[in-house]
Amino acid sequence: MDPLKDVKAATEAINNGLDSRSRVISERLGRDFEDVLDDLQREKELMAERGIVLPGSAGQSDAIGDDPADSPQGRNALALVALGGE
């Protein structure tokens, strides 16, 4: 089993509309998609409070309703979370 290939395959399936983030996260982690989004939002808020900017995250929209998983960083983060990475 190659975790990197699994992440790439899950990301491609999601990006091509062949799978959903909810299902990938549910099946691979046994977690609820909304819980994962809550975690990501909390992390984003904490980093903003502390002035931490991760590479590639500057200039991303903070608007409510934007899907954080639509950015390359969001897709990678969700794919990683889906496979049990942190």
- Residue 75 clears pLDDT 90, i.e. is over it: no
Residue 38: inside a domain: yes
* Residue position matching structure tokens 């999601």: 14
> How far apart, in whole angstroms, are the C-alpha atoms of residue 48 and residue 12?
29
* Residue position matching structure tokens 């909810």: 22
Q: Copy the structure tokens of residue 37.
A: 């989004």
Residue 24: inside a domain: yes
Instruction: Express as a percent the part of the chain with pLDDT over 70.
Output: 65
Residue 58: inside a domain: no
Residue ranges making up the domain that contains 47: 3-52+65-82
Residue with more model confidence, 67 or 64:
67
Count of domains for the chain:
1
10 Å Cβ neighbour count for 21?
21
**Region 23-32 average pLDDT:** 93
Confidence band for 63, pLDDT divided at 50, 70 and 90: very low
